[in-house]
Amino acid sequence: MDDGASRVTNKDTVTAAADAAQLEIGVWPDEPLRLNEEHLDPLLMWCVQRRATDVSIQTDKPIMIEVDGTLYPVTRRPMDSADMVNVLNRIYGPDALAKLASGRDLDLSYEVRPDRNTRHRFRVNMTAILSRGRDSTQVTLRSLPNLPPTMKDLGIESALIDNWSPRQGLILVTGPTGSGKTTLLASGCRMLIERAQGCGKMLTYEAPIEYVYDAIAGPRSLVAQSEIPRHLPSFAAGVRNALRRKPNIILVGEARDRETMSAAIEAGQTGHLVYSTLHTVGVAASVRRMVSVFEPSERTERSFALMETLRMVVTQALVPKVGGGRIGLREYLVFDDNVREQLLDMPLERWTTETQRFLVRYGKTMEQSANEAFKAGLINRRTYLLLTKGFSGDEGYDLDPPENFEDAAQRAAEASPESDLDIEEDDITMI
């Protein structure tokens, strides 16, 4: 009986907290009876004022916004198919439905200009879904700041800043979807543009373009941004295009396939500085994925070219912060001459396990970042355990963070199979 009463009390407490948060966010006061094209921009501006990072518009559901990682409904009425047609027409055009019906999803950017001197950009994805037994649509809009933040704004470690601009080579930013990879890359680009000596000619290839650099002062910098597939058909085509334009820096939105990875490596080998992203979690996992993407017949040759080109891998996780908001925690390893030479002297099968050991010795693990944030009171117990143990634990779980990270990494590396690169091509998918 007591357990039942306790469960009811806990449920009431959770419900009360959710209601209080919803009251703080509120609902859109100008909600119309029918969402027409002219209503979309005022809705998005209201969502931005409520600190929404994402706006989701889905058939048969109220419009939802995400604030600090939590979803809130902001309309009383669910969207019907006529509302969705108006949204699609406003953002993309009258042929959006036909393209979605053909099995394609649409990635693009959308801009709202409330006045001549202000603009708000959104990254948009449109995807066909099934709702209540019929074909429907979900539109996700991610709000983008007018200017990319600075490295200082993001609290980037000094070791990352110091190694962000090698003379040439490949730098990778990895992490799951929504972990802030694009924001980290944009802040790094801003730092390069604003340097006294500038960045030279920077060419970016993105799908879609999220941050723009027009308002950043850089008298010694020239930035040209191209959108995939609007301006060029693929990222690999973008890299090939860049090599004909004498750039100093090339930014590739995502190294999502073998062709793009090979093109990025070749660009790094020919004296360019290349930045890109991968959907992997962890530095060692990123090395494994990059090696595994090549055909077995060419794997050794391409992997050695990769290691000669690689300069740094950064993995980022975006987690809830105590007191509200979110904080980025990072794992990274600088592939300097010492690290590269040691790996090049080993067989490919050992690269993943040895990279994990080097990560502790020469870089910084996610466990170390979580430990520092937990001790500083920036993240709560549940987030700390999710990052370090993979689960939220229970009330009796030992909270003391491990002190000897090297022993922990050694155990993790020894537990990894030595044949971790023997992967069939059909199993290689970008997450």
Amino acid at 113: R
E strand or H helix at 315: strand 310-320
**Predicted pLDDT of residue 229:** 82
Residues forming beta bridges with residue 205, ordered by sequence position = 226, 252
**DSSP sequence for 193-224:** HHSTT--EEEEEEESS-----TTS--TTEEEE
**Predicted pLDDT of residue 418:** 42
Which residue blocks in 210-335 are alpha helix, DSSP H?
235-242, 258-269, 283-292, 299-309
Taking the chain (431 residues) in runs of 10, the rounded mean pLDDT of each run is 50 59 83 93 92 93 89 93 94 92 89 80 92 92 85 90 92 88 92 91 88 84 89 88 92 86 89 91 89 86 91 91 86 93 90 90 91 90 85 51 47 45 39 29
Fold of the 151-427 domain: Rossmann fold (3.40.50)
**DSSP sequence for 47-108:** HHHTT-SEEEEEBTS--EEEETTEEEE--SS-B-HHHHHHHHHHHT-TTHHHHHHTT--EEE
**Predicted pLDDT of residue 190:** 94
Instruction: Give the whole-angstrom CA distance, residue 54 versus residue 122.
Output: 9
**Predicted pLDDT of residue 403:** 47
Instruction: Give the whole-angstrom CA distance, residue 243 versus residue 246.
Output: 6
Domain boundaries, the chain: 22-144, 151-427
**Predicted pLDDT of residue 2:** 53
**Predicted pLDDT of residue 412:** 45
* DSSP annotation of 294: S
Global pTM reads 0.73
**Predicted pLDDT of residue 428:** 36
Determine whether domain 22-144 maps to CATH 3.30.450.90. Answer: yes
**Predicted pLDDT of residue 25:** 83
Of 249, 281, 320, residue with least CA distance to 431: 281
Instruction: Give the whole-angstrom CA distance, residue 207 versus residue 238.
Output: 11
**Predicted pLDDT of residue 423:** 40
Give the CA-trace dihedral at 90, 79, 180, 267, to 10 degrees: -40
Residues 6+ apart with CB under 8 A from 172: 255, 275, 276, 277, 278, 286, 290, 310, 312, 313, 314
**Predicted pLDDT of residue 148:** 86
**DSSP sequence for 131-154:** ETTEEEEEEEEEEE-SSPPPHHHH
Helix (H, G, I), strand (E, B) or coil at 367: helix
